[in-house]
């Protein structure tokens, strides 16, 4: 679960600045509902209208409708905000415990037309020209946009940052003249992307200088950020040509590798002989290949999978027609005459978000024929480098990396000690589980990991903020062989390592 701070800018008449109230919203848990009724538009309280819906005909609001910032418009439909008295049908995410006085609905559709997808992987929406799959046009929520798009034009801009927090992940904009209306959408990549330069995303209202690649991609021109305030954010050479992919050819003699736009370690490698694959492949002279990193919660059918990372591959013919996700089913695949090598890279931040035990990681693909996720048994998982590799002559459209979240940290009722302490596990030796306890004198970010004799990490038990006090975690080693293991606690400046023995 990820918690986001959602800001509602209440612009009072006659005031030059925003009065901002902050709320906590868990977008993962919003219940999707559909309501019909009469629109009530309040144009007297704030500088910009507030929207409600009366569902029982008593002329009183029953829900507050959150359409996002007053300037927001959908980029793939002609939907508009309602007028006072309009009959409307709204589909959206229900948030009951808020401070607006009424249950709030984050609007996803109005009168059957797309308004907003709170889970859309916005950083991949860079192919407005020739795009085959966008928003409500495709129930599979593909990110692929093929090769028919204009290349980015390098621009240098200055202005003020505006952050729209009414999506699951913050959207960033640039307001050049400080009038409260953005002129550009700023693409900083996925929320887990961090540059090596130390540059950081701006805060709302910050004055910023941006160098980036501009694409005419919807309601606001999109600027892929290369630099912010003179510090490098992203290597611009990755956006000079075909974004996130490139071409392979029938008689090529060398392997060709493509990467995702924001992570060089996400890779798809196409090998010679690929054209001798499935039906019609032998007639093809060239193929455009793309790979994307996505957000698991954005996928069309995540079900009960405890996925913390997601990826997508797409292949396009010369005429621009996509081959993946374009048929009757979501989760299609493509067969080649030679093996395709794929590598997926996940981050510690993604692990931490769902408190994943790395020893339980699995790679899965979506099989549209059975409408389910299937484990790839031959995948090689390297938890030291945070990579998952596999090779196959059949490539699916969607992949996820899943894992188990370990037993929650148990908190005791003992008095808080004055010092950090890592206790010996009990029982020891053990089979197959044991309890590891530790004490914190202050609130700290805690990392508790288990290593084998050669120093390889085999499990991450805790990787989150923990309050002061005595805590215990159960370590389940049922998947590991007998032997000597070490567990290490890092908390603040404290570091301690102890040995334990697994006997089966």
Phi/psi region, residue 196 (left: phi>0; alpha: psi -120 to 50; beta: rest), is: alpha
400 and 414 part of one domain:
no
Regarding whether 102 and 192 lie in a shared domain, the answer is no
Select from 404, 422, 451 the last residue of a domain.
404
- Domain check: are 290 and 394 in the same one? yes
Q: Are residues 158 and 232 in the same domain?
A: yes
Asked whether the beta carbons of 178 and 162 are under 8 A apart, the reply is: no
Q: Is residue 101 part of a domain?
A: yes
Residues 392 and 279 in one domain: yes
Q: Is 261 left (phi over 0), alpha (psi -120 to 50) or beta?
A: alpha
Query: Is residue 435 classed as helix, strand or coil in its secondary structure?
Result: strand
Q: Strand, coil or helix: what is 131? A: coil
409-424 as b/e, with b when 16 or more CB fall inside 10 Å? beeeeeeeeeebebee
Helix, strand, coil share (%) of the chain residues, nearest 5: 5, 45, 45
3-state secondary structure 330-399: CCCEEEEEEEEEEEEECCHHHHHHHCCEEEEEEEEEEECCCCEEEECCCCEEECCCCEEEEEEEEEECEE
Residue 147 domain flag: no
Q: Is residue 430 part of a domain?
A: yes
Do both 318 and 393 map to the same domain?
A: yes
Please report which helix (H) or strand (E) contains residue 260, including its range.
Answer: strand 256-260
Q: Write the CB contacts of 239 (distance below 8 Å, at least 6 apart in sequence).
A: 151, 152, 213, 224, 226, 261
Which residues span the domain enclosing 471?
410-502
**Could you give the number of structural domains in the chain?**
4
Q: Both 260 and 368 in a single domain?
A: yes
Looking up residue 104, the CATH number of its domain turns out to be 2.40.50
Tens-digit pLDDT string for the chain (504 aa): 232 333 333 332 222 223 223 344 545 557 889 999 999 999 988 888 999 999 999 999 999 999 988 888 887 788 999 999 999 999 998 887 665 678 889 899 999 999 987 777 778 877 643 444 343 334 566 777 767 667 788 999 999 999 887 777 788 999 999 998 999 999 998 888 889 899 999 998 999 999 999 987 667 899 999 999 999 998 887 665 566 688 899 889 999 999 888 888 999 999 999 988 776 676 688 888 889 888 887 776 777 788 999 999 988 887 766 666 544 457 788 889 999 999 999 988 788 777 788 888 999 999 888 888 999 998 999 988 999 999 999 999 899 999 987 655 566 555 556 789 999 998 888 888 888 989 999 888 898 989 887 777 888 888 888 888 888 888 888 778 888 899 999 998 899 999 998 987
The reply to whether the predicted model has a pTM over 0.75 is no
Q: Which residue has the tokens 């009424």?
A: 102
Q: Mark whether 258 and 161 lie in a shared domain.
A: no
Tell me phi and psi for residue 405, to 5 degrees: -90, 125
Q: Find tokens 């929406």 and name the residue.
A: 125
Q: Do residues 429 and 486 both lie within one domain?
A: yes
């Amino acid at each position: 679960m990820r918690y986001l701070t959602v800001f509602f800018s209440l612009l009072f008449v006659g005031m030059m600045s925003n009065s901002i109230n902050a709320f906590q919203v868990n977008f993962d848990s919003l219940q999707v509902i559909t309501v019909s009724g009469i629109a009530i538009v309040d144009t007297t309280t704030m500088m910009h209208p507030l929207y409600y819906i009366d569902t029982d005909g008593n002329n009183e609001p029953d829900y507050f409708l959150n359409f996002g910032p007053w300037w927001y418009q959908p980029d793939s439909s002609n939907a508009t905000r309602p007028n006072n008295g309009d009959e409307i049908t709204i589909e959206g995410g229900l948030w009951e415990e808020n401070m607006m006085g009424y249950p709030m609905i984050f609007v996803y559709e109005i009168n059957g037309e797309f308004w907003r997808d709170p889970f859309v992987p916005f950083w991949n929406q860079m192919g407005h020209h020739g795009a085959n799959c966008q928003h409500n046009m495709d129930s599979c929520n593909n990110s692929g946009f093929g090769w028919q798009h204009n290349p980015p034009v390098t621009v240098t801009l200055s202005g003020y940052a505006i952050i729209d927090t009414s999506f699951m992940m913050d959207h960033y904009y640039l307001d050049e003249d400080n009038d409260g209306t953005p002129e550009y959408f700023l693409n900083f990549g996925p929320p887990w992307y961090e540059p090596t330069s130390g540059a950081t995303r701006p805060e709302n209202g910050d004055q910023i200088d941006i160098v980036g690649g501009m694409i005419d991609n919807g309601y606001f021109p999109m600027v892929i950020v290369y630099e912010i305030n003179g510090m490098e954010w992203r290597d611009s050479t990755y956006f000079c040509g075909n974004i996130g992919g490139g071409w392979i050819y029938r008689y090529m003699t060398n392997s060709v590798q493509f990467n995702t736009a924001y992570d060089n370690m996400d890779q798809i490698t196409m090998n010679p002989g690929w054209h001798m694959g499935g039906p019609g492949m032998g007639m093809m002279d060239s193929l455009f290949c793309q790979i994307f990193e996505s957000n698991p919660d954005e996928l069309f059918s995540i079900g009960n999978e405890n996925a913390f990372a997601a990826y997508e591959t797409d292949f396009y013919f010369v005429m621009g027609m996509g081959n993946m996700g374009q048929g009757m089913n979501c989760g299609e695949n493509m067969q080649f005459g030679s093996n395709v090598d794929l590598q997926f890279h996940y981050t510690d931040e993604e692990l931490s978000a769902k408190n994943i035990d790395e020893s339980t990681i699995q790679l899965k693909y979506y099989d549209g024929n059975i409408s389910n996720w299937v484990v790839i048994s031959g995948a090689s998982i390297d938890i030291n480098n945070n990579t998952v590799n596999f090779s196959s002559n059949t490539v699916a459209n969607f992949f996820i990396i899943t894992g188990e979240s370990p037993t929650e940290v148990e908190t005791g009722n003992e008095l808080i000690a004055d010092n950090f302490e890592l206790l010996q596990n009990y029982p020891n030796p053990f089979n197959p589980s044991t309890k590891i306890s530790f004490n914190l004198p202050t609130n700290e970010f805690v990392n508790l990991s288990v290593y084998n004799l050669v120093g390889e990490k085999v499990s991450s038990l805790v990787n989150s903020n923990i309050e002061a006090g005595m805590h215990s975690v159960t370590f389940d080693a049922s998947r590991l062989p007998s032997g000597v293991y070490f567990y290490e606690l890092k908390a603040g400046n404290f570091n301690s390592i102890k040995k334990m023995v697994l006997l089966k």
